Structure 1
Amino acid sequence: MREFPGMASSAAPIRRGFINEVAFAAFCQTANNNVGWPPGELTPEELVRAVSYVRSLPIRRETQGDIAADGGLAPEEIVDIDEQRRRLIWMFLFNKPAGSLLTEPTFPGCGMIDSCKGDLIASDALYEVKAGDRLFRSIDVRQLIVYGALNFIAKRFKIERLGLFNPRIGIGATMSADDLCFEISGKQSSELFSEIAAAFSSGEISR
């Protein structure tokens, strides 16, 4: 579903991965500080904190190589970051109940899979944010399914829907976990997640 028109950005493509990470980190700051709508422009202090956080991550969600993290941010990159942040705020915070959003939820590991962080849980929906210049891919869906399976094992969060959102292109997709699992496997989510959990524990993972 289209939520916004595609973004026009003059930021260099080699920098986009780093920019996307900073935008998401800036959004998480805003969400965790319970900032309402309209959120206002990103302050220099918030931007510095977001950049520092991204550079501290051992593994980035969207890595472009060390060159992407070098140097300061150009004016057009800051515009890109703030627009992505604004779209994320509108999508996940505007007219939503207070406390309905959890950023970077942690899922306990299982077997050969280490503990990991998702992007966000909005009410009962687990979302991954993908801000590349591309449509969603099967690997994005597999990532959601893995997180769903880890949560099924741990029973840490109430997750009934799975979704993807791309603030750069402006599109999103959400399905119930049962419907998505049935579409890709012909099985209910509980059955598929149980089988994935068994595979994690046994080490029998196929690509």
Structure 2
Amino acid sequence: MTADLDLLDGVERRSFDGNERLATRGEPVYGEPTKDGWRVWDAGRSKLGAMLELRMETGLEGGETVLYLGAASGTTVSHVADFSGPTYAVEFAPRPVRDLVGVAEARDNLFPLLKDARDPASYAHVVESDVDCIVMDVATRGQADVANRNRQFLADDGRLLMAVKARSEDVTADPDDVFDDVLDSLESSYEILETTRLDRFHTDHLGIVARPK
């Protein structure tokens, strides 16, 4: 294992089969390689993992309260819960939520919510206010609108970590045009701090770090 001081507490680069890989300490979820209690965080299966691999300044330090939008079956949010505090995982599709509930059984700080991220009022009574971070990976049209609607949960000094999937907005449009439109829409609620294309790991995706206005 080699030290990597720019990573957050609870996330390290560990050696797996002679290769340095991003890893968190926790129970395996999706058949990822494990060693000495550490599990590979596969950036090819995780947009947030890709953002960390590409050295984006997420502002995460470890221990944050997180609202995760678009949790699916728990691939990325399981890693997030490994290094975070309370982690609220919103997913609207019942089938992946069943898997997500299984993932949460080994993580007392992970709270699955069968809710629609486009309707934050439906879980406002559960999610605490002033969360430190919103992680968003929602493959739907109107991704900026979802982020803007959920701004209400974010602390004034919190961070939005968002992966925009261009093809979910408009499969025929140039991805750069889609990303520009999303960024323009976000600026009603957020100050954009950093953007990076995630194509090395996820084609036609943009990683965004922002803070609330």
TM over 0.5: no
> Which structure's CA Rg is the greater one?
1
Higher relative strand content? 2
Q: TM-score scaled by structure 2?
A: 0.29
Point out which structure has higher relative CO (alpha carbons under 8 A, 6+ apart). 1
Q: TM-score scaled by structure 1?
A: 0.29
Higher relative helix content? 1
